[in-house]
Amino acid sequence: MQVGRTHFGAFAAIIAATAIATTSAAGVANAQSVNIPAEVAAKGIGYYVVPGKPGANIDQTRFTNRPTKSKKKIDSFTGFTNSITGYAVVDSSGEPANLVAGEFHLPVKSLDTGVKGRNKHLTQRLWLNAKKFPVILFKIKSTRNITLTGDNTYKAELVGDITMHGVTKEMVLPVEIAALTAGDKGDLLRIRANYAVTLSDFGVKNGIIGKKVAKNIMLEQYIVLSTKKAS
């Protein structure tokens, strides 16, 4: 269905954006558990993504398509996922916002738009092609422009490579990072990011993008990590 294809395209873009988590072919056991390689763990303090919804009204990732060329409600949609796994390594100096390494993995099939047919479209070849590229990956390279904004809260820019649909692209994501110690839950980090992803940058191209599907998909992410790995 044409409309469905439109929606899926948008989703694909969104998912790509959410790509903060993705699996690279090597170094990851599966989407359910991501171990920190020894050489990466040696760089500092390791934090693991706490799986699942962070809060009752909060999802790890939400994405939305708002095409500018179409004012029809049918062409706008949002989706979410709470299947991100991965880790981040904070510099050994202990500054919580100074992430020196990390990987976030997001299974493409976990993207949920609330519409069964649209979810299926999203995974197809015209969009994210989940069969060939099952996971979206974000690999942290460094953090820059770290600014303390409150008690253990920071604004920064996360530099990393997003791999989606077989294409890897470096992106700089504006993030808000908060840290706290939560007793039996371990030391926690919260990373929030709002940004847009351009579908075509990741090789997702078709006649629908730019019309019923926005060229840029808006993403909002809320990821909590802990020094204690979930069992």
Binding site for other proteins (CB under 8 A): 1, 3-4, 7, 50-59, 62-64, 73-75, 77-80, 82, 112-121, 124, 149-153, 176, 178, 180, 182, 185, 188, 190, 192, 194, 218-220, 222, 224, 226
Residue 59: CB minimum distance to other proteins, A? 6
- Do 80 and 53 contact (CB within 8 A), yes or no? no
* Closest to other proteins by CB, 120 or 132: 120
Q: Which helix (H) or strand (E) holds 79?
A: strand 77-81
Which residues, in sequence order, are CB contacts of 230 under 8 Å at separation 6+?
48, 50, 51
* Closest to other proteins by CB, 161 or 187: 187
Copy the structure tokens of residue 185.
């839950």
Cα–Cα distance for residue pair 131/166, rounded to 1 Å: 11
Residue 27: CB minimum distance to other proteins, A? 25
Residue 219: CB minimum distance to other proteins, A? 8
Residue 78: CB minimum distance to other proteins, A? 5
Work out the angle at residue 197's Cα, subtended by the Cα atoms of residues 40 and 124, and round it to the nearest 5 degrees.
95
* Closest to other proteins by CB, 46 or 163: 46
Q: Pseudo-torsion of CA 60, 14, 21, 28, nearest 10°?
A: 130
Residue 39: CB minimum distance to other proteins, A? 28
* Closest to other proteins by CB, 115 or 167: 115
Say how many Å lie between the first and final Cα of the chain, rounded: 42
